[in-house]
Structure 1
Amino acid sequence: MTRTRGLLITAAIPVLLLGACARPGTAADAGAPAAGEPITESATADPDSVALRVEYRGGFVPPQYLLGRLPVVTVYADGRVITDGPVPLIAPGPALPNLQVQQITPERVRKLTADAVAAGVKTGTDFGSPGVADIPSTRITVATGYGTETAEAIALNEAQADDPALTSAQKTARAKLKKFVEQLTALDDATEPYRPAEVAALARAYVATGDGLEGKPVDWPGPALPGDALDKDLDIRCVSVTGAEKDKVWAAAEKANQQTPWVSGGKQWSVLFRPLLPDESGCESLRSAG
Structure 2
Amino acid sequence: MKAMVVVAAALAAAGCSGRSEAGLDPTPAPPPASAPSASAPSGTALVLRTSTSGGIAGLGGPGSLPDFSLYGDGRVVAGASGALTEYRLTPRAVRRIVSAARNAGLATPRTVESPYMADAMYAVITFVVDGRPRTTRLVEPVSDGRAAALLALLNPSAWARGDLAAAPHPYRPAKVAALALPGSATGAPRWPFAVPLGSGTRVGTRTCTVLTGADARKAPAGRWSDWTDHGRFYRVMFRPLLPDEADCSALA
Check if 1:69 corresponds to 2:69: no
Say if 1:202 and 1:237, in contact at 8 Å, map to a contact too. yes
Q: Distance in 2 between matches of 1:225 and 1:133?
A: 36
Q: Decide which structure has greater strand share.
A: 2
How many Å apart are 1:113 and its aligned residue? 0.6
What secondary structure, in the 3-state scheme, does the structure 1 residue paired with 2:250 have? helix
Amino acid at match of 1:221: P
How many Å apart are 1:123 and its aligned residue? 1.8
Match of 1:198 in 2: 175
Q: Distance in 2 between matches of 1:146 and 1:231?
A: 24
Please, which of 188, 195, 198 is the counterpart of residue 217 of structure 1? 188
How many Å apart are 1:122 and its aligned residue? 3.4
Aligned residues: 230
Pairwise CA RMSD of aligned residues?
3.7
Matches within 5 A, 1:126-275: 127-144=112-129, 148-154=133-139, 156-157=140-141, 171=143, 173=144, 175-186=145-156, 187-188=158-159, 189=164, 190-207=167-184, 217-222=188-193, 223-231=195-203, 234=205, 236-248=206-218, 250=219, 253=220, 257-258=223-224, 260-275=225-240
Say if 1:18 and 1:145, in contact at 8 Å, map to a contact too. no
Larger radius of gyration: 1
How many Å apart are 1:56 and its aligned residue? 2.5
Match of 2:76 in 1: 81
Give the structure-2-normalised TM-score. Answer: 0.74
Match of 1:281 in 2: 246
**1:37-87 Cα shifts (integer Å, max 9, x gaps):** 799752132211111111234444369x722211110110000011015xx
Would the alpha carbon gap of residues 69 and 39 (structure 1) be closer, same or farther in structure 2, given more than 3 Å must change?
Answer: farther
**1:94-120 Cα shifts (integer Å, max 9, x gaps):** xx7101110011121111011112234
How many Å apart are 1:129 and its aligned residue? 2.7
Would the alpha carbon gap of residues 262 and 135 (structure 1) be closer, same or farther in structure 2, given more than 3 Å must change?
Answer: farther
Would the alpha carbon gap of residues 38 and 245 (structure 1) be closer, same or farther in structure 2, given more than 3 Å must change?
Answer: farther
% identity of equivalent residues: 29
Runs (5+) with no aligned partner, structure 1: 10-14, 25-33, 86-95, 160-170, 209-213
Say if 1:51 and 1:109, in contact at 8 Å, map to a contact too. no
Say if 2:67 and 2:79, in contact at 8 Å, map to a contact too. yes
Q: Distance in 2 between matches of 1:127 and 1:102?
A: 31
Q: Distance in 2 between matches of 1:38 and 1:51?
A: 20
**1:239-288 Cα shifts (integer Å, max 9, x gaps):** 0011123234x2xx27x953x3112112221111111111111111111x
